[in-house]
């Protein structure tokens, strides 16, 4: 399977470049995912959905992400590290059936412009939103990293909606399991159980926390993983009964080496498998940082790994890198650099 995928990618890249076509600056009119290029929505506006996650529901993909404000500045109250920030603009949502063309559905969790004490006030931090559908409550449940301007609050917020396109009602935040929570993701298992996975203990240790049946709270059942390994940007997926966590190191907005770990149970124990990225700039994740990995509906062994290519001094102008994930016969993964590709052609 992996062999075929790579053969196809190699052949496709060769054909593209031998026809004298250079990598595109954007996906406009291309019907392609163009790694690291500007990505425009169906209204020709630049997609503004960072630290994102994808929900597939009733035949439609929903892309939720940080809706960044348009000016970036180094927070003057945090001189000790490169605390570049934008005003938090809430959470945006885009929808698509083909994963290439995305329609803007609006800002589905709005920031609170008037109440300076609100956690959703633009002066705070709202990052890495992820949405799951709860089959029992029929609610769409969003978790996101909610923080103060200096990242000292280190909390997780929860919001709910009856529809995927919102608007989401904010329920508030917590330090789950009485522990700090910054970079985070959600994962829904085949049995309907959901997990909150988050960087805790000053980003040093990754917590995996089983959620209550309604997905609104931690159950108190959690494990501490990769202790003192400083893993951020977790992205979880499952294939053939095995669980995978793709994550980054911890270097603020700067790129570093990705790492994947595998387990037979979501709670661990996890076996570290190293850097799955290959090709140009693979040792720094192609200048990206993981945010989500999701299966393509109706296709076997078709998974897409999503990364943010942060532009730390102009955060709204950060780009997206989406790449196919390939598996070998042992279930080990490889994420190869691919300048531009079409999911319909790569995933047969």
339 binds ligand DGJ (CB under 6 A): no
194 binds ligand DGJ (CB under 6 A): no
Q: Tell me how far CA of residue 43 lies from CA of 32, 100, 190, 347, in angstroms.
A: 17, 13, 36, 27
Tell me whether residue 35 or residue 248 sits nearer to ligand DGJ (CB atom): 248
Tell me whether residue 27 or residue 181 sits nearer to ligand DGJ (CB atom): 181
252 binds ligand DGJ (CB under 6 A): yes
Structure tokens at 277: 């990225």
Secondary structure (3-state) at 11: helix
Cα–Cα dist 238/303, whole Å: 10
Tell me whether residue 175 or residue 193 sits nearer to ligand DGJ (CB atom): 175
Tell me whether residue 131 or residue 233 sits nearer to ligand DGJ (CB atom): 233
Least CB distance to ligand DGJ at residue 51 (A): 5
105 binds ligand DGJ (CB under 6 A): no
- Of positions 35, 36, 47, 51, contacts ligand DGJ by CB under 6 A: 51
Cα–Cα dist 307/337, whole Å: 12
Tell me whether residue 127 or residue 334 sits nearer to ligand DGJ (CB atom): 127
Cα–Cα dist 274/104, whole Å: 36
Which residues face 207 on adjacent strands? 198, 224
Tell me whether residue 41 or residue 183 sits nearer to ligand DGJ (CB atom): 183
Least CB distance to ligand DGJ at residue 275 (A): 17
87 binds ligand DGJ (CB under 6 A): no
If you compute the radius of gyration of the chain from its CA atoms, what whole number of angstroms results? Answer: 19
Q: Give per-residue burial for 87-117: e unless 16+ CB within 10 Å, then b.
A: bbbbbbbbbbeebbebebbebbbbbbeeeee
Cα–Cα dist 300/318, whole Å: 31
259 binds ligand DGJ (CB under 6 A): no
Stretch 170-189 residues interacting with ligand DGJ (CB under 6 A): 183
Tell me whether residue 14 or residue 152 sits nearer to ligand DGJ (CB atom): 152
Tell me whether residue 119 or residue 232 sits nearer to ligand DGJ (CB atom): 232
Q: Tell me how far CA of residue 305 lies from CA of 68, 99, 197, 298, in angstroms.
A: 22, 13, 17, 17
Q: Are 264 and 241 in contact (CB under 8 A)?
A: yes
- Of positions 41, 87, 105, 232, contacts ligand DGJ by CB under 6 A: 232
Cβ-closest position to ligand DGJ: 252
- Of positions 233, 258, 266, 323, contacts ligand DGJ by CB under 6 A: 233
Cα–Cα dist 205/207, whole Å: 6
Least CB distance to ligand DGJ at residue 252 (A): 4
Least CB distance to ligand DGJ at residue 65 (A): 11
The values of phi and psi at residue 102, to 5°, are -125, 130
Stretch 123-142 residues interacting with ligand DGJ (CB under 6 A): 127-128
Q: Are 143 and 184 in contact (CB under 8 A)?
A: yes
- Of positions 56, 238, 253, 267, contacts ligand DGJ by CB under 6 A: 253
Tell me whether residue 139 or residue 289 sits nearer to ligand DGJ (CB atom): 289
Cα–Cα dist 38/114, whole Å: 32
Segments in 157-246 forming alpha helices (H): none
Least CB distance to ligand DGJ at residue 302 (A): 26
Residues 6 or more apart whose Cβ sits within 8 Å of residue 60: 95, 96, 97, 164
Residue ranges in contact with ligand DGJ by CB under 6 A: 51, 127-128, 183, 232-233, 252-253, 289
């Amino acid at each position: 399977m992996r062999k075929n995928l790579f053969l196809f990618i190699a052949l496709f890249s060769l054909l593209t470049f031998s026809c004298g076509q250079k990598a595109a600056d954007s996906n406009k009119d291309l019907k392609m995912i163009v790694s690291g290029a500007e990505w425009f929505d169906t209204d020709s506006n630049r997609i503004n959905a960072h630290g994102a996650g994808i929900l597939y529901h009733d035949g439609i993909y929903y892309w939720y992400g940080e809706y960044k404000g348009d000016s970036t500045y180094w927070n003057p109250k945090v001189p000790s590290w490169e605390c570049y920030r934008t005003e938090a603009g809430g959470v945006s949502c885009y929808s698509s059936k083909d994963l290439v063309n995305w329609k803007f559905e609006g800002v589905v969790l709005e920031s609170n412009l008037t109440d300076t004490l609100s956690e959703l006030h633009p002066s705070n931090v709202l990052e890495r939103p992820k949405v799951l559908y709860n089959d029992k409550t029929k609610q769409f449940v969003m978790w996101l990293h909610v923080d103060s301007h200096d990242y000292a609050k280190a909390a997780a917020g929860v919001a709910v909606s009856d529809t995927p396109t919102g608007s989401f009602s904010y329920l508030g935040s917590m330090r789950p399991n009485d522990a700090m929570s910054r970079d985070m993701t959600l994962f829904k298992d085949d049995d309907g159980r959901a997990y909150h996975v988050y960087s805790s203990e000053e980003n040093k240790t990754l917590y995996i926390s089983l959620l209550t049946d309604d997905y609104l709270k931690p159950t108190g059942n959690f494990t501490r993983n990769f202790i003192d390994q400083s893993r951020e940007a977790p992205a979880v997926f499952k294939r053939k009964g095995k669980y995978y966590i793709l994550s980054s190191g911890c270097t603020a907005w700067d790129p570093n080496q990705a790492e994947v770990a595998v387990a037979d149970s979501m709670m661990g124990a996890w076996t570290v498998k190293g850097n799955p990225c290959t090709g140009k700039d693979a040792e720094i994740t192609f200048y990206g940082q993981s945010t989500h990995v999701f299966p393509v509906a109706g296709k076997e062994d078709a998974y897409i790994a999503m990364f943010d290519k942060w532009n730390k001094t102009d955060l709204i102008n950060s780009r997206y890198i989406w790449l196919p994930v390939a598996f070998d016969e042992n279930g080990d993964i490889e994420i190869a650099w691919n300048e531009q590709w079409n999911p319909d052609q790569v995933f047969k």
